[in-house]
């Protein structure tokens, strides 16, 4: 199993994360404010510049009203 943050599975998670934000109608700034993080955090996560851990993914999932497996299995 690859440990790269650029694996196809991880890219899918990032793509789904971006899509969930778009579906929610929120900007990166909106998300950052709701998560009490800087906008650059959201941007870096979405672009894959910052590794997303499971606890952080859960925060995004709750904000976007999605189940965790949606990010892993949606195509």
Show the domains of the chain with their CATH numbers: 27-75 (1.10.260.40)
pTM as predicted: 0.87
User: pLDDT tens for residues 49-70?
Assistant: 999 999 999 999 999 999 999 9
Q: State in Å, rounded, how far the first CA of the chain is from the last one.
A: 20
Report the alpha-carbon distance of residue 66 to residue 20 in Å, rounded: 8
Q: What is the DSSP letter of 49?
A: S
pLDDT band at 6 (very low <50, low <70, confident <90, very high): confident
User: pLDDT tens for residues 11-52?
Assistant: 999 999 999 999 999 999 999 999 999 999 999 999 999 999
Q: Does 1 score more than 60 pLDDT?
A: no
User: Exposed, middle or buried by CB within 10 Å (0-12, 13-18, 19+), for 59?
Assistant: middle
Q: Does 2 score more than 80 pLDDT?
A: no
């Amino acid at each position: 199993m690859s440990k790269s943050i650029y694996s196809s599975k991880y890219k899918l998670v990032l793509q789904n994360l971006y899509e969930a934000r778009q579906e929610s109608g929120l900007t990166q700034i909106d998300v950052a404010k709701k998560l009490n993080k800087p906008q650059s955090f959201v941007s870096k996560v979405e672009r894959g510049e910052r590794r997303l851990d499971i606890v952080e993914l859960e925060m995004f999932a709750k904000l976007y009203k999605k189940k965790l497996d949606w990010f892993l299995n949606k195509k």
